[in-house]
Copies of this chain bind each other. A is one copy, B any other.
Amino acid sequence: MASASLSEYPPVLSPEEEQYLLSNLKDWSIAHGLAVRPPPTFVSTSQDPSGVLASTAPVTLFPSLFPRTCFEDGLSLQTAYNELYAAIARDEEWLQGIVEELIEIDDFVGKLWQTHLAVKKEGYVQDVTLGLFRSDYMIHSDSASSASSPGLRQVEFNTIASSFGGLSSQVSALHQHLLAIDAYPSSATETIKKDALVRSKSTFSLAKGLAAAHKAYGQSRSGKPLCVLFVVQDPERNVFDQRHLEYVLLEGSGIRSFRIPFHRTLKDTKLDNEKTLLYTPPHSPSAVFEVTTVYFRAGYTPDDYPKEEDWDARLHLERSRAIKCPSILTHLAGCKKVQQVLATPHSPHLSRFVPDEETARRIQETFAPIYPLDDSDAGREARKLANDPTSAARYVLKPQREGGGNNVYRKAIPDFLKSLPETHWPAYILMEMIEPPPLRNSILRNGELQSGGVICELGVYGVCLWRNGSGEVSNGEVLQNWEAGYLLRTKGDQSEEGGVAAGFGAVDSCCLV
């Protein structure tokens, strides 16, 4: 990635080239549902009360450069990662050890755990769990050593509501289309070429995962027709991403699905006396469906639980016979604390779940060193690193919970920790910053075009369907396991000179180099 031509990537466009590329991009994206509902800052509710307007989803104009070996590593590791997280989710005792440390300080984790315990007490009636995972990586270039080749470093592993699978297939198709119509200038086509662009199969592959769970559920017990339930936020601007899965599920597998806002759960569903989950569509109260699979695209953030009854709703779904994507234990397996204990140097935990040494080594290589902020030896070392402005500059402080947006970076860490009681420190982990290679791109977002330095994050989707068995690692059985396509998400780097708005992402695709 260091050759002269690559350092000039992406090419500078003449006004006519930019006009051709943009007009094709804007039309193709809407014609193919690479779209979002516009934010209220762009289109106010009063202007479009019925919500018929849509806009091109935030996208990059060019596919971003990505090292082929890293891309292939990420994809080839996904089934091992799927097995790892399925094994963690099955190991309640081990998870308990992880979670207990957080319960007192992270109310959200505590509530999830209590919900699990309540269901456990009366007995889980569904042994099968579905994971639609996404393992997120950045490229790490060790600037200290110019000889070392770039490698993948895991940012996080998503076990719930892994998004953008529906749009990712479309953006990779968009970039291929732009190449096919010569929208990329000939000076760039040594780099942007047919076999360098990778189509993501994520829409098809994730929908196939939902279909596999639906099938594994078996026959209807109530005699009612079967369906999959998408539990969603309301409103949802990223609705087309989810709808693409729904359409493929219906057209590819003939499986009905419904969208239910999370807050409507207790109104629109009930359990019969065998805990079969029954859904009554509000538009058709006489047509009851039996739910085979609950697909959570909500419920992953405390914001989704403003009322106590929202926790009743989560409990209600967890108690049911429907297959959950994911179960609460699987949701908890996605805690950053889990990532931290796996990635703490010399941790014994990885080998517990991944007995094969070579596989464990390959997974280990994708970990950035992660430290706890607790009273352990590693934790005490980490507290020193975090409180010293010089060493803190190489780290990021992350909360355990999901959702993003609350990270504290580099030199801001010491002051942030000073503002917190020390008893709350263990709610955070300290992670060595990944140093991505300098890249540039242009992003079209809400009609505004911004160019500059960018950071790319590769997400690899995985589908895993497993039986929990008795809860011990050695038990249980993986029924389905496949890599399910990829996402490239690109945002402005935080450099002052970069024109791309920092922190806001766009969907992107890989141009392998």
CB-nearest residue of chain B to A239: B27
What residues of B have a CB within 8 angstroms of the CB of A423 in the complex? none
- Please pick, from B31, B54, B56, B177, the residue contacting A244 in the complex, using a CB distance under 8 A: B31
User: Which residues of A, 289-324, contact B by the 8 Å Cβ criterion?
Assistant: none
Which of A31, A56, A181 is most buried by chain B, counting CB atoms within 10 A of its CB? A31
Query: In whole angstroms, what is the CA distance A219 to B42 when docked?
Result: 49
Q: Are A52 and B447 in contact (CB-based, < 8 A)?
A: yes
CB-nearest residue of chain B to A446: B52
Tell me whether A346 is interfacial, beta carbon within 8 Å. no
- Please pick, from B31, B53, B243, B281, the residue contacting A247 in the complex, using a CB distance under 8 A: B31
Tell me whether A51 is interfacial, beta carbon within 8 Å. yes
Q: Are A17 and B52 in contact (CB-based, < 8 A)?
A: no
- Please pick, from B31, B55, B177, B244, the residue contacting A53 in the complex, using a CB distance under 8 A: B55
| Distance between A501 CB and nearest chain B CB, rounded to angstroms | 16
Q: Are A31 and B31 in contact (CB-based, < 8 A)?
A: no
> Given A27-B240, A240-B27, A20 and B53 touching (CB < 8 A)?
no
Q: Are B250 and A30 in contact (CB-based, < 8 A)?
A: no
What residues of B have a CB within 8 angstroms of the CB of A453 in the complex? none
Tell me whether A99 is interfacial, beta carbon within 8 Å. no
Tell me whether A256 is interfacial, beta carbon within 8 Å. yes
State which of A32-40, A204-212, A332-340 sits at the interface with chain B: A32-40
| Distance between A504 CB and nearest chain B CB, rounded to angstroms | 15
CB-nearest residue of chain B to A18: B283
Q: Are A284 and B182 in contact (CB-based, < 8 A)?
A: yes
What residues of B have a CB within 8 angstroms of the CB of A287 in the complex? 182, 186
Query: How often does this chain occur in the complex, in copies?
Result: 2
Query: In whole angstroms, what is the CA distance A446 to B182 when docked?
Result: 34
Query: In whole angstroms, what is the CA distance A50 to B19 when docked?
Result: 10
- Please pick, from B19, B54, B247, the residue contacting A55 in the complex, using a CB distance under 8 A: B54
What residues of B have a CB within 8 angstroms of the CB of A49 in the complex? 447
What residues of B have a CB within 8 angstroms of the CB of A56 in the complex? 52
Tell me whether A403 is interfacial, beta carbon within 8 Å. no
Which of A17, A48, A180 is most buried by chain B, counting CB atoms within 10 A of its CB? A48
- Please pick, from B28, B54, B240, B281, the residue contacting A20 in the complex, using a CB distance under 8 A: B281
User: Which residues of A, 416-462, contact B by the 8 Å Cβ criterion?
Assistant: 444, 446-449
Query: In whole angstroms, what is the CA distance A28 to B259 when docked?
Result: 13
- Please pick, from B20, B27, B444, the residue contacting A243 in the complex, using a CB distance under 8 A: B27
Tell me whether A122 is interfacial, beta carbon within 8 Å. no
User: Which residues of A, 1-26, contact B by the 8 Å Cβ criterion?
Assistant: 14, 16-17, 19-22, 26
User: Which residues of A, 41-89, contact B by the 8 Å Cβ criterion?
Assistant: 42-43, 47-56
Query: In whole angstroms, what is the CA distance A444 to B32 when docked?
Result: 21
What residues of B have a CB within 8 angstroms of the CB of A243 in the complex? 27-28, 31
Query: In whole angstroms, what is the CA distance A185 to B28 when docked?
Result: 34
Q: Are B284 and A50 in contact (CB-based, < 8 A)?
A: no
Tell me whether A282 is interfacial, beta carbon within 8 Å. yes
What residues of B have a CB within 8 angstroms of the CB of A185 in the complex? 284
Query: In whole angstroms, what is the CA distance A21 to B284 when docked?
Result: 11
9 A-B pairs whose Cβ atoms sit less than 8 Å apart in the complex: A22-B50, A30-B54, A31-B244, A33-B33, A52-B446, A52-B447, A53-B55, A54-B54, A181-B250
Leading 7 A-B pairs by shortest Cβ distance:
A31-B33, A20-B283, A50-B447, A30-B54, A16-B283, A52-B447, A16-B282
Q: Can you name 11 extra interface pairs (CB under 8 A) apart from A19-B282, A20-B282?
A: A17-B283, A26-B50, A28-B243, A30-B30, A43-B43, A48-B447, A50-B447, A52-B446, A53-B55, A177-B250, A182-B284
